[in-house]
Copies of this chain bind each other. A is one copy, B any other.
Amino acid sequence: MRIKGYVFTLFFVLGVIQDSVDGRPLLLSLSRPHPDSAADFARWLVSQNSWGVLNTIASDLGGAPFGNVVSYSDGLPNKGSGIPYFYLTTLDPTASNALKDQRSSFTISEYPIGTCGKTDPENPTCAKITLTGKLKLLDGNSDEVEYARTALFSKHPEMKDWPKGHNFQIFKLEIEDIFMINWFGGPKPLTVKEYLHIEMNKVAFVV
């Protein structure tokens, strides 16, 4: 166990220089935690990605679940809180759906990060996570909305120039359930408390 612990620490502390998959410059980022460390792995996945599919209930489509591609941020780079924040306009169905029915989930794949190699995106060793909960509009004057705005604009610089007339507002997913597959053997047992408890900013990373 001690050796395993050291190996894990080594994995977790060592940063790697990853070649971003979207053609952007090389980024410094945390290394991929061991799949057995469910909370660390989940927080890594949420921290490293920048977009996913946000799902709401579409009352105008017979109550169908409606997925929408969105950008998000859970905090400053490598200092995420684990809570995904979104910058949405009610001109888009997702925000207007959420204002009628907050039931929601947010789904992220490891595949576009580039760390799955040639593994198929549906293969359980290429990780995926679905955070289920309530999609809530943040109070425009709260401390949290300031934190979220900084988190979003630092990860998605072009957002600050998006049209004012579209009335973009900040939403958060209040997480109630976590479904994550990152290896064989089914979803990893992981409570919301375990997930939120990890402090990303105490983890060393390459600078």
A55 to B186, alpha carbons, bound, how many Å? 19
A117 to B23, alpha carbons, bound, how many Å? 7
Interface string of A173-207 (1 = CB under 8 A from B): 00011010000001000000000000000000000
Identical copies in the complex: 2
Residue pair A118, B24 in contact (C-beta under 8 Å): yes
Interface string of A20-58 (1 = CB under 8 A from B): 011110000000000000000000000000111101111
Determine the main DSSP class of A at the interface with B: strand
Interface set, chain A 93-116, CB cutoff 8 A to B = 93, 103-109, 111-112, 114, 116
Residues on B with beta carbons closer than 8 Å to the beta carbon of A77? none
**A64-B103, A132-B66, A158-B123 given as contacts; is B111 within 8 A of A22 (CB)?**
yes
A112 to B130, alpha carbons, bound, how many Å? 19
Q: Give the interface residue-count category, chain A.
A: 35 or more
Residue pair B68, A132 in contact (C-beta under 8 Å): no
A79 interface hit (Cβ, 8 Å) = no
A15 interface hit (Cβ, 8 Å) = no
Residue pair B65, A122 in contact (C-beta under 8 Å): no
Residue pair B121, A71 in contact (C-beta under 8 Å): yes
Partner of A53, one of B23, B63, B107: B107
Residue pair A22, B24 in contact (C-beta under 8 Å): no
Residues on B with beta carbons closer than 8 Å to the beta carbon of A177? 61
**A65-B56, A65-B104, A68-B107 given as contacts; is B120 within 8 A of A156 (CB)?**
yes
A103 to B66, alpha carbons, bound, how many Å? 10
**A103-B62, A107-B69 given as contacts; is B118 within 8 A of A50 (CB)?**
no
Which A residues are within 8 Å of any B CB, using their own CB?
21-24, 50-53, 55-58, 61-71, 87, 91, 93, 103-109, 111-112, 114, 116-123, 128, 130, 132-133, 156, 158-159, 176-177, 179, 186
